[in-house]
Amino acid sequence: MSVPAAFLGVVVIWSTTPLAIKWSSDGGGYLFGVSARMLLSIFVCLLLVALLGRRMRWHREALSTYLAGGLGIWGAMTCVYWGAQHIPSGLVSVLFGLSPVVTALMAALWLGEPELSPSRLLGMLLGLLGLGVIFAESARLGSGAGWGVCAVLLSVNIHSASSVWIKRIGSRMHPLEITTGSLLVAVPLFTMSWLLGDGRLPVSLPGHALWSILYLGIMGSALGFTLYYYVLSHLQASRVALITLMTPVIALILGHSLNAESIGLREFSGVLAILSGLAVFQWGGQWRHLRPTPVAD
């Protein structure tokens, strides 16, 4: 597969996922939406495992990896689906863009990775400033917007903790195997959550909700994860990090154009501060080491 095509695919999928999450909850509720998505995803992944001739592993290290990934998927997706009901989809994408920052902080604390540089700390401060602005203006977005922001931030932390946990285990397995094994853990948890929380099958689903569930189950989970790991294995991390800056902008445009979502000037200033913080966090160290080219006399 062409690496640029895979990169573009990840950008498209990640940009459209927040709005699809919002739409998939219409008619059946967020628990039904996320459970149906993950049930479809596991069937797609198992089919891919069979078609590609992959062999699932069941040794202790593999089981620990599946557990770490499955708990992460269940916790993070449940929180983000609940939060997406209360805030614009574009804002969901902006907040989830903070996951590299949170992951780096957890890796420094738990994996003994190099301490955070001054530029990365500055990026974190800019991100916190943006979050403060968004929290201050959350009342304008609706009565539950503050809790929605908290739910998405909790999702970011769960996702990051799961990633660091998997990295700490250090299992060298194919990404499709990790995704499939993680979903085998997560799907029963999603099903149990749906049964305890609601347990009712919707009589009918709006067309946009049905298509969103199908899109997320096939494209957003199975294909999205595979493309991302493919890009990660072929490009430098700094280039892959561009995805976290591009997708929030596109998601904001899609939410405004397709779902009539609006972001006020003050909320937009918070979004800008977060995106600026992400840029400084990812590339601030490189900018600091740039030297002007001497001009010949």
3-state secondary structure the chain: CCHHHHHHHHHHHHHHHHHHHHHHCCCCCHHHHHHHHHHHHHHHHHHHHHHHCCCCCCCHHHHHHHHHHHHHHHHHHHHHHHHHCCCCHHHHHHHHCCHHHHHHHHHHHHCCCCCCCHHHHHHHHHHHHHHHHHHHCHHHHCCCHHHHHHHHHHHHHHHHHHHHHHHHHCCCCCHHHHHHHHHHHHHHHHHHHHHHHCCCCCCCCCHHHHHHHHHHHHHHHHHHHHHHHHHHHHCCHHHHCHHHHHHHHHHHHHHHHHHCCCCCHHHHHHHHHHHHHHHHHHHHHHHHCCCCCCCCC
In the prediction, which pLDDT does 192 show? 95
3-state secondary structure 117-129: CHHHHHHHHHHHH
* Domain definitions of the chain by residue range: 3-282
Euclidean distance between CA atoms 215 and 39, whole angstroms: 13
For tokens 């198992």, the residue is 46
CA 206 – CA 297 distance, rounded (Å): 71
Stated pTM of the model: 0.85
Per-residue pLDDT of the chain in tens (297 residues, 90 and over written 9):
678 888 888 889 988 999 999 999 888 889 999 999 999 999 999 998 999 888 899 999 999 999 999 999 999 999 999 999 888 888 888 888 888 788 888 888 887 766 677 877 787 788 778 777 777 766 666 678 889 989 999 999 998 898 888 888 887 788 888 889 999 999 999 999 999 987 888 888 888 999 999 999 988 887 887 787 777 667 665 566 677 778 888 888 888 888 887 777 777 788 888 888 778 876 776 655 555 555 554
Q: Which amino acid is at 39?
A: L
Output the six-digit token pair for 107.
């890796």
pLDDT, residue 297, reads 46
Degrees to nearest 5, angle at CA 114 with 162 and 124: 70
Rounded CA-CA distance 102/104 in Å is 5
The Cα 89–Cα 93 span in angstroms is 7
How confident is the model at residue 137, as a pLDDT? 66
- What pLDDT does 104 receive? 80
Instruction: Name the one residue in this structure whose structure tokens are 């400084």.
Output: 280
